Every structure is written in structure tokens, then in C-alpha cells.
Amino acid sequence: MLGHTLRERRQAQGRTITDVAAATGIDHGYLSHVECGHRVPSLAVLRRLAEVLDLAPEELGRVVLGLDAAATEGIQPAVTQ
């Protein structure tokens, strides 16, 4: 699910795996494995991918947790001080 979402977002932007991998500083082969679901990226890699692919943190969180938008509607993010 995560890899599928990342691939869809990348393709919707007309970007190649090589382009996104270079922009995030990860190997294009590794990114391909993430998109295919064969690898699970670290939180640091997820952050870089989210930035490059313009994924909002809450959208990325839903994808990682396997939730749809309706399941999290109305839930407010925690505020830390």
C-alpha cells in the first residue's frame, strides 16, 4: 500500500524513479524495491520522500497506518509544547 501510493504520486508528477531517488539521496534500486513493497523505508527516508513528492504528513501517516481519509476525519493532530 505504501509503495503503491508513492509510485502513484511519483507517476502523477511525471517523475522517474531515478529523479526522485536523486532528489531524496537514496539509491534508485532501493526506491524501486520500496515501491514494489519488497522494502520498508526508515522514517528518515519516508520524510524525504514525503517532501519530494509533496505528501502532507497526515496523508503519509494514513498511508503508513493503512487508514483511509474517512477513518481519520475529524481527528486533530496532537499539539506539543
Write the CB contacts of 58 (distance below 8 Å, at least 6 apart in sequence).
72, 77
pLDDT surpassing 70 at residue 74 = no
- CATH superfamily placement of domain 2-66: lambda repressor-like DNA-binding domains (1.10.260.40)
Average pLDDT, the chain: 84
pLDDT surpassing 50 at residue 9 = yes
Residue 60 confidence (pLDDT)? 79
Residue 72 confidence (pLDDT)? 47
Burial of 16 by CB count in 10 Å (0-12 exposed, 13-18 middle, 19+ buried)?
A: exposed
Tell me: the pLDDT tens digits for 18-47? Answer: 999 999 999 999 999 999 999 999 989 999
In angstroms, rounded to a whole number, what is the distance separating the alpha carbons of residues 20 and 23? 5
Residue 11 near residue 21 (C-beta atoms within 8 A): no
Q: Rounded to two decimals, what is the model's pTM? A: 0.76
